[in-house]
Amino acid sequence: MSEENTTTVIKEFVFVGLTSDPTLQLILFFVILAIYMTTLVENLGMIALIRATPRLQTPMYFFLSSLSFLDICYSSAFAPMALVNFIADKKSISLIGCAMQMYFSISLGSIECFLLAAMAYDRYVAICKPLLYPVLMSPRVCTFLVVGSYVLGLLHSLVHTVFTFRLSFCHSNKINHLYCDITALLSLSCSDIYINELLMFYVAGPVEATTILSVMVSYMYILTNIVRISSSAGRLKAFSTCTSHLTVVTIFHGAILILHFRPTSSNGPAFQDVSDKVLTVFYTIVIPLLNPLIYTVRNKEVKDALAGIQRKMYAKMIK
């Protein structure tokens, strides 16, 4: 590569994408479009159901509606651009657009980490300190936990975005991913990325570790308390209030750990790249689709509220 090319400042990026096959791109377009639209309907429906049902006006469902709103934002930070790139001839994004996409993808993922930890704390208080629940989980405290999750997530993302886009990108403008992933961008930089690597290790790593640890500690106390309940029916009822959240946490953090901490594939870098992209689709689009389904299938109160709304709609239709 000539010196002139290596010193050219890149002002836009081009996504390599998942495949170059036009037929497969069209199929993926319709699949992801269907998933994205279903995600919007499910999560908007969950928010509307919680707001319309008086019995669901509790801290647990306040957090759940916050999670649904977050999942809408999270999938929207990725899906629209991915859909455009599946059918566009030029799969490009401006430098500013790339920075914004990276900022929102990191911030929303971080916010969900903190929010899931706050939901674990809510379940801990509900089961281990039921008499103090109205005080410890007052509307003011719940609002503080949600707002705090957003503040921490936005600040966390701001640090990575600022230090990433202060770099010079001159090796290539082709991002070997479906979106502006931080690791893919760092591989394109001709600047020293030592500080960025430190930030990923000492900032991003602790965010994941501390939120997972807080969830684990909460559930250790919850399980200890459940074991002490004398009746089997009481134990089952106490644990049933946690299964949906525990399932969501396992899927969400499991996807993060597999995506970022799994060993290098023995099938070569090409297979590794494809698997990274597939996992990214699962992490950013499929998980927001699954979350409301998990809470609906496993939660009797949500199913009862949904049945009540359906009965009211049916009654209005036959009048």
Mean pLDDT of 136-143: 95
- Residue 257 binned pLDDT confidence (cut-offs 50, 70, 90): confident
User: Which pLDDT score, from 0 to 100, does residue 279 have?
Assistant: 84
Residue 318 has which token pair?
């036959």
Structure-model confidence comparison of residues 308 and 115, the more confident one = 115
| Structure confidence at residue 7 (pLDDT) | 44
pLDDT of residue 22: 87
pLDDT at residue 112, as a whole number:
95
For the entire predicted model, the pTM comes to: 0.89
**pLDDT tens profile 91-114:** 889 999 999 999 999 999 999 999
Please tell me the distance from the alpha carbon of residue 80 to that of residue 87, in angstroms, as a whole number. 11
- Phi/psi region, residue 92 (left: phi>0; alpha: psi -120 to 50; beta: rest), is beta
What distance in Å separates the CA atoms of residue 58 and residue 61, rounded to the nearest whole number?
6
Q: Residue 107 half-sphere exposure, CB side, CA atoms within 13 Å?
A: 19
Kindly tell me if the per-residue pLDDT of 4 is higher than 60.
no
Between 187 and 273, residue with greater pLDDT = 187
The mean per-residue pLDDT over the stretch 274-284 comes to: 83
Secondary structure (DSSP) of the chain? --HHHHTPPP-EEEE--S---HHHHHHHHHHHHHHHHHHHHHHHHHHHHHHH-GGG-SHHHHHHHHHHHHHHHHHHTTHHHHHHHHH-SS-EEEHHHHHHHHHHHHHHHHHHHHHHHHHHHHHHHHHH-GGGHHHHT-HHHHHHHHHHHHHHHHHHHHHHHHHHTTS-B-S-SEESSSS--HHHHHTTB-S--HHHHHHIIIIIHHHHHHHHHHHHHHHHHHHHHHHT-SSHHHHHHHHHHHHHHHHHHHHHHHHHHHHHHSPPPTT-HHHHHHHHHHHHHIIIIIHHHHHHHHHHHH-HHHHHHHHHHHHHHHHHHH-
What domains appear along the chain, each with residue ranges and CATH number?
A: 3-318 (1.20.1070.10)
Mean of the per-residue pLDDT values of the chain: 87
| Residue range 153-197, pLDDT digits in tens | 999 999 999 999 999 887 678 888 888 999 889 988 888 999 999
Name the residue with tokens 């836009």.
12
Neighbours of 180 (CB within 10 A): 27
pLDDT in tens, 287-309: 999 999 888 876 778 877 777 77
